[in-house]
Amino acid sequence: MDPAQFGYSTLPMQHAPYGPILPKSLEGSNSGKVAVITGAGQGIGAAISESLAKSGASIAILDLNASNLEQTMKTCSAFGGKVEAFGCDVTDQNRVEEVFAQVEKQLGPIDVLVNNAGILDQRPFMMGTFDGFWRQIEVNFKAPLMLMHAVLPRMRDRGHGCIINIASRSGTVDVPMTLGYVTSKAALIRATHTLQLEMELDGLDPAIHLYALHPGGVRTNMGGAGAAEDVKKKYGDITDEEFYKHLFKDGPPLCGQTCAWLATGQGKELRGLFLDCRQDVSKLLEYGRENLLKENRNKLTVNFIDGYCNEP
């Protein structure tokens, strides 16, 4: 894979919290809100939890094992808000419903949902089991849909809510050895676009606003672990390629603070779209929702040759 085929930005990219998304700028902006964050035990999920807690939200942090949440809970509790931790397999519908009921009992109605939990098995499709491939679809796509299906009626009844799906640039490009990951992330981006349109049908737009967010180039345990030994033996260790090292230069707080900013509602004009947290939100807002939609920006699309287009 040659990253150059996907293009390089000519506008400056952000690689750390800036201006409108700085903690100081968002201080108290999410006070009174209850946020649920999945995959909160480390990395990006922990940073999202910390940013929402800093901005005043009460938070429910979820991870497969509750023991993974100890440090996140300690860090977030230091900001003075309420923090509750739950062990939860996000693919288990019964457990999700149990956790949501407990969250509402202990913290109150859910205002913000951040679907962050995800897995990656870096191997060619034909070298893995189908179950291993499908598990990625279940965690990365089925689980977010299931959580949204559980929370949206609650948000509908209260007339407001914010959902942030942590997607990936990988969902917009073709990356060999990551079929389960890119497929699930592309599906999540498309679901975000479509669900926002359904909010319009029910008169819930923009009161309920959804986003698909690329967290930037963050070298997490998942993304930085590389391929298994059997894959390396056949194809080499692609983590040693020089270009790979330069793709990961963003810290988790950039995504965390972007999520906190979106949760405030200040980014409603960007609802339903795929956002890259390295792109300045002020620039996107300045471009305007009307132009973004008219030009089909920040959405999954297909570019046919001139003269051809999809029939209505």
245 burial type by CB count under 10 A (0-12 exposed, 13-18 middle, 19+ buried): exposed
* Residue owning tokens 């926002």: 196
Tell me which of 181, 235, 287, 308 is the catalytic residue: 181
Active site annotation includes 244: no
Q: How large is the C-alpha radius of gyration of the chain?
A: 19
**Cis peptide preceding 206, ω within 30 of 0:** yes
Contact of 54 with 79, CB cutoff 8 Å = yes
Q: What CA–CA distance (Å, rounded) separates 102 from 106? A: 6
CA angle 197–271–12, rounded 5-degree value: 140
* Residue owning tokens 């923009």: 206
CA angle 111–114–116, rounded 5-degree value: 165
Largest CA distance in the chain: 59
Q: Which tokens in the block code for residue 98?
A: 């149990």
Helices (H), 227-280: 229-235, 242-246, 252-264
The residues that are catalytic are 181
